[in-house]
Amino acid sequence: MAEDLIGERRPLAGFLDADGVRASVDALRDAFAVAPGVRVLHTFAAKAASLVPVLRLLAGLGMGCEVASPGELRLAVEAGFAPSRIVLDSPAKTRDELRLALALGVAVNADSLGELRRIEELHSPGSASVLGLRVNPQVGGGAIGAMSTATVTSKFGVALHDPGARERVVHAFAERPWLTRLHAHVGSQGCSLELIAAGIAETYRLAEEINERLGTRRVTGIDIGGGLPVNFADDEARPAFSDYVAALRTAVPGLFDGRYDLVTEFGRSLLAKNGFIGARVEYTKDAGGRRIALTHAGAQVATRTVLMPDAWPLRIGAFDAEGSPRTGPPMVQDVAGPCCFAGDVVAHARELPELREGDFVTLYDTGAYYFSTPWAYNSLPRPAVYGFAGKAGRLRFATVRDAQSLDSVAAESGLNHVNALTGLHAEA
């Protein structure tokens, strides 16, 4: 393990396999190539890895970008995505956010009929933005409720099976000739391919109904979202994008006949298996007959795993101080992080070779949503992130994000306004 990237002075870092990312993008494209007559814009969900160099890599590979905040939109533009290849989704867009998107020509999916009325106030005929409406097909939830966005009471989209909702959606398209896209996203981790496909089928049937009732091809595109779940149990990437396309072709074959442009918004499934976190074991101790390895990887970089360990278990690798795989008889151990709350444990009761002070652990399958979007708990600095490519023994590394300095931590915590409250008091 390279001492200049991770070691005693730099005890935590994220790593991303650039060649693996390229291979994942190729697999996505190949899966949808079974329907060569369909125009597909594959966008990457920026929230999965909101790092400009990662987004630039994906832009260079011909991907588009799905964004869900002003910050993500800024990152996408800085990374070089053309506005015509950016899609803005979120349930709470401000007027300023919408004005900017419409001025840039970014595609926008309204999340509600109220937002659609707001877009109508701001929209001008000269805008190049493709405009759509997100619907909630209400097909149910998956194994992880927090990741299921097509439940009966989901906060996302227009609830399609609520009384009168379908008629109001058809009416919205009838009144607005510039509204040409439908959008749906059923969920991600914990959602089966069959459930996801059922939601897209509902959306497709709505598009057909709108066009039939209006007597014209008003809906010309369907944004089918992302949501391909990731296997965290072993190295295999399953289900594959080809499995997803097969499920779609079974549930809604008309989706691929060329009458609708398609948009996808994959995130985790493109990057998760192409990244890992490396962390130094600072101490080990025993408590209640259990060995505990205290590391620098905790809730600040593995938030979901720490807060929902049953839903987001991670595989752990054990390495000695030189970076070689740790060997020896397995021992039941907890792998804990540095945050000051008792639940900050990334792996409970795992059988691993005995970890020792100065060893390293790896948290696998963390290329999305982990080191790229850290939590500032305990004012812990953001870790450095490195990209790599090549084969073992001939790897090349590049800095994706520098480790955050303590000066930056202090500045973000209001250092420039240090006396703001000391002189603030009610007037006599």
Residues 310 and 262 in one domain: no
Q: Taking residues 393-398, report their average pLDDT.
A: 90
CA 407 – CA 428 distance, rounded (Å): 38
Residues 58 and 191 in one domain: yes
Q: Select from 205, 239, 266 the last residue of a domain.
A: 266
Residues 324 and 261 in one domain: no
Q: Give yes or no for residue 207 having a pLDDT over 90.
A: yes
Residues 243 and 296 in one domain: no
DSSP 318-357: EE-TTSSBP-SSEEEEEEE-SSSSTT-EEEEEEEEEPP-T
Q: Give yes or no for residue 352 having a pLDDT over 90.
A: yes
Q: Select from 266, 282, 304 the last residue of a domain.
A: 266
| pLDDT above 70 coverage of the chain, percent | 99
Instruction: Give residue 261's pLDDT.
Output: 97
DSSP 131-187: EEEEEE------S-GGGB--STT-SSSEETTSTTHHHHHHHHHHH-TTEEEEE---B
Does 416 fall in a domain?
no
- Neighbour-count burial for 120-140, b at 16+ CB within 10 Å, e otherwise: eeebeeebebbbbbbbbbbbe
CA 80 – CA 105 distance, rounded (Å): 14
Phi, psi for residue 126 in degrees, rounded to 5: -80, -5
Does 415 fall in a domain?
no
Q: What is the mean pLDDT of the chain?
A: 94
Residues 309 and 243 in one domain: no
Does 227 fall in a domain?
yes
Range of the domain at 148: 34-266
Residues 254 and 316 in one domain: no
Does 29 fall in a domain?
no
Q: Select from 266, 288, 320 the last residue of a domain.
A: 266
Residues 279 and 210 in one domain: no
CA 177 – CA 22 distance, rounded (Å): 38
CA 28 – CA 101 distance, rounded (Å): 27
Does 59 fall in a domain?
yes
pLDDT, one tens digit per residue, over 74-112 is 999 999 999 999 999 999 999 999 999 999 999 999 999
SS3 289: coil
Question: Which CATH number belongs to the domain containing residue 312 in this structure?
Answer: 2.40.37.10
The answer to whether the CB of 172 falls within 8 A of the CB of 111 is: no
Question: Which CATH number belongs to the domain containing residue 127 in this structure?
Answer: 3.20.20.10
Q: Taking residues 159-183, report their average pLDDT.
A: 96
Q: Indicate the length of the chain as a whole number.
A: 428
Structural domain total, the chain: 2
Closest listed residue to residue 108, CA positions, set 221, 202, 200: 221
Instruction: Give residue 2's pLDDT.
Output: 52
171 CB burial (10 A radius; 0-12, 13-18, 19+): middle
Residues 323 and 232 in one domain: no
Residue 157 Cα to chain centre, angstroms = 19
Q: Taking residues 273-281, report their average pLDDT.
A: 98
Q: What sign does the CA torsion over 415, 416, 421, 423 have? A: positive
Residues 210 and 330 in one domain: no
Find the Cα–Cα–Cα–Cα dihedral 147, 26, 232, 381, rounded to 10°.
-80
Residues 261 and 291 in one domain: no
Does 424 fall in a domain?
no
Residues 245 and 302 in one domain: no
| pLDDT band per the 50, 70, 90 thresholds, residue 1 | very low
Residue 349 gets the label, from left (phi > 0), alpha (psi -120 to 50) or beta, of: left
Put simply, whether the predicted model's pTM sits higher than 0.85 gets the answer: yes
Residues 300 and 381 in one domain: yes
> Rounded to whole angstroms, what are the CA distances from 22 to 19, 52, 92, 304, 355?
5, 16, 33, 26, 34
pLDDT, one tens digit per residue, over 40-81 is 999 999 999 999 999 999 999 999 999 999 999 999 999 999
The answer to whether the CB of 268 falls within 8 A of the CB of 284 is: no
